[in-house]
Structure 1
């Protein structure tokens, strides 16, 4: 076989392989939705929390208890969640706390600390009472801790959760949730 024929055959085989790969990729993209498909590495960029977008950002959270108070100051987000009546469960409260932590540390990159209080509001006397407090600090707990809190099925918190999130329950919390679940 002549060297010229070997080079020509190799060149033709290479061109055919490239055309075949392009055709397969085009077919693959069409079946997945075309240009709307993004690679897995194309993650959304975290948002910067500011006074201007505070309400917009917080309104994206799906909470079963309303926010009673909020403050944003020097990378610290402070929130009070309001519980009225006795129909709110501790699992809902833990889920809401996890949602706030998730937003603060996965979606926002300029939040270094979330100070969260769960307040019971007496509708008759219009008094507020602290039930539970947490101080979430970036980098002081593993990311799976948010899911651990969200899935926690006991009113009594583990020492690990208390340590990670600097959590403190009041006597009113214990009376409302811990004692009622034991009896």
Structure 2
């Protein structure tokens, strides 16, 4: 075979392969929806909370403060966190509150409001006392507010965090955490 024919044959085979690849790609794009097809990533997929998956979703958080009570009804998640003894720190409580807010509003699509209470349980008398409450609502706080709460290093919470998350502290909270840190 002449060298000129070899070059022509290989050039013709290359051009044919390019046309076939373009045709297959075009067919593939038309089948999938063309430019409207969007890649799906795990970060974009949000779950829907329901009675069927409530336990699984909440157990995935790995909170350091145990959940004492939970209720899910009409896009409102109600949660009580239980503090026993004096070993739990305010930074732990803030981190757990941030974890609940992050789950409710970043990982779940159908939660519009989280009503969160932090309860102290008296082991001797078996009574529960409210320490802190929050009424956290979707889209009522800036995107960095959860990180600000998670990293807050003072028992006295800022006015901004109180306003964004509708946080209310009781006298028992102040006695347990704020006054202990003054001395």
TM-score of the aligned structures, taking structure 2 as reference length? 0.78
Q: Match for residue 26 of structure 1?
A: none
Secondary structure of the 1:50 match is coil
Question: Where does the alignment leave 5 or more consecutive residues of structure 2 unmatched?
Answer: 1-7, 19-37
Answer yes or no: is 1:145 the counterpart of 2:151.
no
- Distance in 2 (CA, whole Å) between partners of 1:50 and 1:62 is 19
RMSD of equivalent CA atoms? 1.9
SS in 1 for 2:57: helix
**Structure 1 consecutive aligned stretches of length 4 or more whose deviation exceeds 3 Å:** none
Give the distance between the partners of 1:40 and 1:159, measured in 2 at CA: 41
What residue is the counterpart of 2:5 in the other structure? none
Find the counterpart in structure 2 of residue 35 from structure 1.
Answer: none
Count, aligned residues: 151
Residue 25 of structure 2 aligns with which residue? Answer: none
Post-superposition shift, 1:41?
Answer: 6.5
Instruction: Summarize the Cα distance change of 1:65–1:40 in structure 2 as closer, same or farther, 3 Å threshold.
Output: farther
**Alignment deviations for residues 4-53 of structure 1 (CA, whole Å, 9 cap, x no partner):** xxxx9xx89x97xx8xxxxxxxxxxxxxxxxxxxx996234100000000
Larger Rg: 2
CA 1:41–1:142: 2 relative to 1, 3 Å: farther
State the alpha-carbon separation in 1 of the partners of residues 39 and 158 from structure 2.
35
Does 2:94 align with 1:94?
A: yes
Report the 3-state secondary structure (helix = DSSP H, G, I; strand = E; otherwise coil) of the residue aligned with 1:57.
helix
- d(CA) in 2 for partners of 1:63, 1:95: 9
Distance 1:46 1:129 in 2: 35
- Structure 2 equivalent of residue 30 of structure 1: none
Q: Secondary structure, in 3 states, of the residue corresponding to 1:161?
A: helix
